[in-house]
Amino acid sequence: MPRGLFITLEGLDGSGKTTQIKRLAAWMQKRGLSPVVTRQPGGTATGDRIRALLLDSSSSHVAPMAEMALMFADRAQSIAEIIAPALADGRIVLCDRFTDSTEAYQGGGRQLGSQVVLDLHRLICGNLQPDLTLLLLPSLDICLDRARRRNHRATQQTGQDESRFEQEQDAFYQRVWQKYREIAIRDADRVVLVEGNLGIDEVHEQIVEAVSERVLFAGH
C-alpha cells in the first residue's frame, strides 16, 4: 500500500489554523477522503498531559531546553501512536503544528537556533517530513490580538488556562514570525505561504487550491 499524505498547518497563535484545519477536513470528508486530524502538542493521552504543562500560564519557570524537549516528547508519541500508523495505512493526516512550530517558537522565539531543532528532529522523529505545509501568516498584531482574546474567553468559559505563550513580549513573537518566514523561503518546495490579513473564505480557497494539487498528484 502506498504511503499516505502528511499535511501540516503552521502559524502563530491566532493565525486561524484551527478554523482552517476544520474546514479543510470537512472539504476532504465531502470528497470521501476521511483524513486523520490531530494536533501538537496533544492529540494523544500522553501528549495532552504534556500540552497542559506547556501551555498553562502557571508553568512559568520551564527552561527553554526543557520546553523544547517536551515538545519533541509529545511529537515522538504522536508519530508513534497516530501519524506513522495512519500514513502506513495510506491515509491523509492533517496535523495542527509540527516541527516547524518548534523551530519558530523555540529556535526563533527562545533563540535556541534552528540547528538544534533540526538535529533533534532527525534523531527523535526519524526526519519525518510533511508532504505539504500550509503556513498562515497574517500580520503579527492581528495574530496576537486574536490569540489573547480567544484564550481569555476560553479561560472564562472552561476554566482551562492555555495562555502561557500569549504572555510573552511582542519581541518574542516578532522572532517567531520572522523564523516562520525564513522556513518558508528555505523550504519553498514544501511550504505554501498564505500571507496577509485575508478573510476566512479567502484563506480556505488558497488552501484548497494548494491541497488539491498534492492530493491529485498523490493519487488520493
List pLDDT tens digits, range 73-123.
999 999 999 999 999 999 999 999 999 999 999 999 999 999 999 999 999
Percent of the chain with pLDDT over 70: 90
Please report the pLDDT score of residue 158 as a whole number: 58
Least Cα distance to 11 among 106, 169, 143 occurs for: 143
* All three cell numbers of 143: 495574530
Report pTM.
0.90
* All three cell numbers of 10: 503552521
Per DSSP bridges, beta strands 92-96 and 36-39 are: parallel
Q: Which amino acid is at 92?
A: I
d(CA 184, CA 103): 12
What domains appear along the chain, each with residue ranges and CATH number? Answer: 5-218 (3.40.50.300)
pLDDT tens-place string over residues 157-187: 655 656 677 678 889 999 999 999 999 999 9
Least Cα distance to 19 among 159, 168, 134 occurs for: 134
Least Cα distance to 96 among 191, 207, 20 occurs for: 20
For residues 22-44, average pLDDT: 96
Contact 212, 220 (CB under 8 A): no
* All three cell numbers of 45: 493521552
Please report the pLDDT score of residue 2 as a whole number: 79
Please report the pLDDT score of residue 83 as a whole number: 98
